[in-house]
Amino acid sequence: MIRFDSGAPKLTDLPATLMEHILQDLSADEFTDMMNYSHRQGLKQLTKILSIRIRQSGQQLSTVDLMITNGAQQASYVLFSALSSAEDHVVIEEPRYCHVINLAKTVKLRVTPTRRTRE
């Protein structure tokens, strides 16, 4: 999970040790490939390794169920495109990832920004 306000990974959802194991399994060429744009679902080898590790933790997941994006902006666009239709209404909390409102408008969503309160 990515926090929209900072773009930082929420490490409690993806333990750092899991990422360390994934990175250790990659060769130098695979690591270089992973840092570049790749297949629309993400680097196939990374997707495969990640799905295997997730299945080992008891979750049922195949590579077709997993998409790795190049960052928060691409992830937001994919989610808005997949989960909404033109003219749907979304409420976006502030503080927020700086480009998320424009991304929502790109796929023709109606946007209402809202401030988080203590309630």
Q: Residue 103: name the closest of 95, 94, 92, 114 by CA.
A: 92
pLDDT tens figures, 11-27: 566 667 777 888 888 88
Total-model pTM = 0.54
- Where in the chain are the domains? 1-68, 69-119
pLDDT tens figures, 31-50: 777 666 666 677 788 888 88
4, 97 in Cβ contact below 8 A?
A: yes
